[in-house]
C-alpha cells in the first residue's frame, strides 16, 4: 500500500498550513527576491540570475546562499502537491530556467564558486558547502518534480547528481572525500528512490563509509590548498579531532552525538535511510545508539538539541544549560527527520514520541503566529537584557524578521508543508497512526485501496476518533504517547483492550470486522481517549541546571512562565509542586489553548537593595501562570522561563 494523498483537516495545523500558504511562502519569496525592507537582504535569487547572465552584479551573501532558495522551492513542491500556491508555479519555473541556464555542461551548479572562484571547485569541501547546496537543490527538485512533472528541474538534479557520482569515489582520479556539512547523502538517497538509479545510493553510502577514515580527508585536502583558513581556525571549526563535522570516527563507530547538531542529525538520518535500503545491521546499530544518546542524555524537554553556541554543537551527556542553550530550529527539524527514518524500520513509539515533542514545542515555537518572524535559537530561558552579555547575545527575547544565515525559516516551511507524511505509515499489512493530527488519507496498491479519516483534539485534548473505509489490512496500530498514563479504547461504544507492543495499541481485524457496516463499507468509529493531565516534570539528577527545579507539561505541550502573565525577574518565583494544576482557557495569536495556574511565591529584597545582605528575602504568595512554550514571545517583549524553582 502506498499513501497517495493526505489532507490535514483539524483547526490547529490548518492554521499553520494557512500561515504557510498566506504568509510564510509569500513573505519568504519577497525576502529571497530582496523585495522587502523588513528583513536582511538575501540576494539568493539575484545570485542565480547573475550566474545565468540574466542580470549583472557580483555574488552576495553567505557562500551557501543557494540553499535558501532550494529549501523554499522544496516547500513549494509540497504545497503544489496539495494543489496550493499555483500562482507561484510560473515564478518558480522562471528561476528553475535560470538555474538551467547557469548550470555548466558537466552538471556543476553553485553560484558562489561560479561567480567568485571557478578555479576552486571541489577544493574546499570542509568549509565551502558545495555538496550541501547541491543536496538541497536535489531534494527541492525531487519534491517539485513530484508535484509538477517538470522535466527541466529533474534534469538539473540528475545532471548535478551524475557529476557528483563521477567525481567522488574510490576509483582512480576520483576525490576520496566527503562534505563538511552533511546533506548530499540524504539528497542522493531521495533521488535514488525517485529514479531507481543505483549510482545515487552507491555514492551516498560512499560518503557515509568514507567519513572518519584515516588519513583525515579534511587535513589532506587543506594541505593541497595551503592550509585551513583563518576563519575556520578562529570560529573553532578546526578542532583537532574533527568532531565538529562528525569526521572523528567511522560512522559505524559513532555512538555518542558530537559536534555541530544540524550536521549530525542530517548524517544520522542518512545513515538510517542507508541502513533501511541496504539492510546494514551495523549502521542500524550505530543509529539506535546515537538516537538513545540524544534523547536520553542530550535533549531538552522541548525537543531542542545542540547545547552550545560555540559550533552550534552537542557538548556532553546531561549538560543542558537553560540560559545559554542553543537548540537551533534546524537541529530539531533534523531530529524529526532522524526519528522518522528510524520509525520506518522499527515501529517503536519512542521515535514518534520524539517527533511529537520536537514538533509541538521547539519547531512551532520558532515562528511567530503571524508567520513573519523567526527564532534561530530556541532557549529555555530568555531575558531581554541578554544582548548586553556576549555569552548570551545569541539568546533573543523576540523573534527576528530574518537572519543573515537564513537556514531556519525555509527549513521550517518545508517541514510544515510536508507534515502529512509523519501522520500515517503502512508496513507489513498494518496501518500505523504515529501522529494525532486530524486528517483524511488515501492508500492504494495493485490489490486495492482504502481511506482513513481521523479527528483529533491534539494538542489541547487527547480525544481521537478513527474511521477506515474498505480496510484490507490486518490491524490498525495507534501510538500510545509516552506522556499518557491512562487511556481508553472503544468501538461502537464498547470498551476494547488492544494488544500493546512497543508503545503501539494493535486493534486487529477481527475486532474491526465485528463492527463492520457492509452498507457503507466502513468499520464503526474507533475512539480513543488519551487522558491529558497537567503534571510537574523533574529532570534526571545528573542535569545540574535543573537541580531543585520543575517544569510543567500537559500532553505533548511543554509550558513556561512569561513576564506578561507573572512578574519581572521570573527567577524569583518558586512553585509549590504539591498544589493543584488548574486549567483555564486562553488564546494567543488566534491559537486556543489551556493555560495552567499553580500556587507559588515570589521573593523580593527585604532591604534597600544592597548587593549582599544577611537579611532573608521576603516571600509573597502568588499564583503562577503558565502558557504553552510554543506560543511564548507573541505578546509583549519580556522574560520567559521553563524550569522553575520548587
Cell numbers representing residue 193 in the block: 528512490
Q: How far apart are the first and last CA of the chain?
A: 51
Asked if 472 contacts 493 with a C-beta cutoff of 8 angstroms, the reply is: no
Q: Which H or E run includes 512?
A: helix 509-513
Active site residue 312: yes
Among 139, 312, 328, 420, the active-site one is: 312
Check: CB of residue 350 under 8 Å from CB of residue 335: no
- E strands, 201-296, where? none
Residues sharing a CB contact under 8 Å with residue 464, sequence separation 6 or more, in sequence order: 436, 454, 455, 456, 457, 458, 478, 527, 528, 529, 530
Please state, in angstroms and rounded to a whole number, the distance separating the CA atoms of residues 531 and 6: 27
- Among the listed residues 300, 415, 435, the one whose alpha carbon sits nearest the alpha carbon of residue 355: 435
- Which entry of 133, 287, 407, 467 is annotated as an active-site residue? 407
Supply the DSSP string of 285-345, one letter for each residue. Answer: HHHHHHHHHHHHHSB-TTS-B--BTTTTB--STT---SSS---BHHHHHHHHHHHHHHHHH
Contact, 598 vs 580, CB < 8 A?
yes
DSSP letter assigned to residue 591: E
407 is a catalytic site residue = yes
Task: Return the C-alpha torsion angle 304, 309, 314, 318, nearest 10.
Answer: -70
Give dist(CA 625, CA 125) in Å, integer: 50
Cα torsion at 516, 518, 519, 524 (round to 10°)?
Answer: 10
Q: Give the CA distances from residue 587 to residues 15, 485, 595, 635, in Å, rounded to whole numbers and listed in that order.
A: 13, 27, 9, 11
Identify whether 67 is preceded by a cis peptide bond (ω within 30 of 0). Answer: no
Helix axes 184-195, 151-167, angle to 10 degrees: 120
Q: Which residues are catalytic?
A: 312, 407
Amino acid at each position: 500500500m502506498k499513501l497517495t494523498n493526505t489532507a490535514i483537516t483539524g483547526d490547529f495545523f490548518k492554521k499553520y498550513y494557512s500561515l504557510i500558504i498566506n504568509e510564510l511562502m509569500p513573505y519568504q519569496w519577497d525576502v529571497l527576491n530582496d523585495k522587502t525592507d523588513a528583513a536582511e537582504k538575501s540576494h539568493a535569487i539575484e545570485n542565480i540570475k547573475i550566474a545565468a547572465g540574466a542580470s549583472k552584479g557580483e555574488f552576495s551573501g553567505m557562500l551557501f546562499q543557494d540553499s535558501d532558495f532550494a529549501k523554499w522551492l522544496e516547500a513549494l513542491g509540497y504545497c503544489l502537491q496539495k494543489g496550493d500556491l499555483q500562482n507561484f508555479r510560473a515564478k518558480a519555473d522562471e528561476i528553475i530556467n535560470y538555474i538551467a541556464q547557469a548550470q555548466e555542461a558537466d552538471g556543476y551548479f553553485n553560484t558562489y564558486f561560479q561567480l567568485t572562484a571557478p578555479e576552486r571547485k571541489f577544493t574546499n569541501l570542509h568549509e565551502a558547502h558545495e555538496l550541501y547546496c547541491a543536496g538541497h537543490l536535489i531534494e527541492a527538485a525531487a519534491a517539485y518534480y513530484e508535484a509538477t512533472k517538470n522535466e527541466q528541474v529533474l534534469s538539473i538534479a540528475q545532471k548535478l547528481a551524475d557529476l557528483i557520482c563521477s567525481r567522488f569515489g574510490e576509483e582512480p582520479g576520483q576525490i576520496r572525500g566527503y562534505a563538511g556539512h552533511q546533506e548530499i547523502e540524504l539528497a542522493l538517497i531521495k533521488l535514488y528512490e525517485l529514479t531507481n538509479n543505483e549510482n545515487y545510493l552507491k555514492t551516498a553510502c560512499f560518503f557515509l563509509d568514507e567519513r572518519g577514515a584515516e588519513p583525515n580527508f579534511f587535513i589532506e585536502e587543506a594541505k593541497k590548498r595551503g592550509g585551513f583558513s583563518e576563519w575556520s581556525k578562529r570560529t573553532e571549526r578546526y578542532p583537532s579531532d574533527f568532531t565538529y563535522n562528525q569526521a572523528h570516527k567511522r560512522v559505524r563507530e559513532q555512538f555518542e552525538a558530537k559536534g555541530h547538531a544540524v550536521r549530525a542529525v542530517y548524517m544520522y538520518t542518512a545513515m538510517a535511510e542507508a541502513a533501511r535500503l541496504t539492510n546494514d545491521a551495523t549502521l542500524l546499530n550505530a543509529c539506535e545508539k546515537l538516537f538513545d544518546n540524544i534523547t536520553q542524555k542530550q535533549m531538552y524537554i522541548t525537543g531542542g538539541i545542540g547545547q552550545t553556541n560555540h559550533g552550534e554543537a552537542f557538548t556532553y551527556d546531561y549538560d543542558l544549560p537553560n540560559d545559554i542553550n542553543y537548540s537551533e530550529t534546524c537541529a530539531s527539524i533534523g531530529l524529526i527527520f532522524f526519528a522518522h527514518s528510524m520509525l520506518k524500520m522499527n515501529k517503536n513509539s519512542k521515535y514518534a514520541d520524539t517527533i511529537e515533542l520536537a514538533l509541538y514545542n521547539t519547531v512551532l515555537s520558532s515562528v511567530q503566529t503571524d508567520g513573519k518572524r523567526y527564532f534561530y535559537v530556541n532557549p529555555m530561558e530568555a531575558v531581554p537584557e541578554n544582548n548586553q552579555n556576549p555569552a548570551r547575545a545569541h539568546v533573543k527575547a523576540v523573534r527576528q524578521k530574518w537572519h543573515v544565515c537564513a537556514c531556519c525559516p525555509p527549513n521550517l516551511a518545508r517541514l510544515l508543508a510536508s507534515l502529512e507524511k509523519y501522520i500515517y505509515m503502512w508496513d507489513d499489512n498494518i496501518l500505523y497512526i504515529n501522529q494525532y493530527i486530524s486528517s483524511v488519507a488515501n492508500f492504494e496498491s495493485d490489490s486495492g485501496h482504502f481511506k482513513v479519516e481521523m479527528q483529533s483534539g491534539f494538542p489541547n485534548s487527547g480525544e481521537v476518533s478513527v474511521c477506515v473505509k474498505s480496510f484490507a489490512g490486518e490491524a490498525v496500530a495507534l501510538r500510545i504517547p509516552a506522556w499518557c498514563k491512562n487511556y481508553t479504547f472503544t468501538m461502537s461504544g464498547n470498551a476494547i483492550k488492544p494488544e500493546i507492543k512497543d508503545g503501539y495499541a494493535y486493534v486487529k481485524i477481527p475486532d474491526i470486522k465485528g463492527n463492520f457496516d457492509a452498507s457503507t463499507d466502513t468499520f464503526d468509529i474507533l475512539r480513543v481517549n488519551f487522558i491529558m493531565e497537567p503534571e510537574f516534570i523533574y529532570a534526571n539528577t545528573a542535569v545540574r541546571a535543573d537541580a531543585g527545579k520543575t517544569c510543567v507539561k500537559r500532553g505533548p505541550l511543554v509550558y513556561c512562565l512569561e513576564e506578561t502573565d507573572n512578574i519581572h525577574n521570573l527567577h524569583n518565583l518558586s512553585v509549590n509542586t504539591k498544589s493543584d494544576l488548574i486549567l483555564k482557557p486562553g488564546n494567543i495569536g488566534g491559537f486556543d489553548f489551556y493555560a495552567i495556574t499553580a500556587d507559588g511565591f515570589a521573593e523580593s529584597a527585604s532591604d534597600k537593595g544592597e548587593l549582599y545582605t544577611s537579611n532573608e528575602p521576603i516571600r509573597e504568595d502568588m499564583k503562577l501562570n503558565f502558557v504553552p512554550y510554543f506560543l511564548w514571545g507573541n505578546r509583549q517583549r519580556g522574560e520567559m522561563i521553563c524550569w522553575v524553582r520548587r
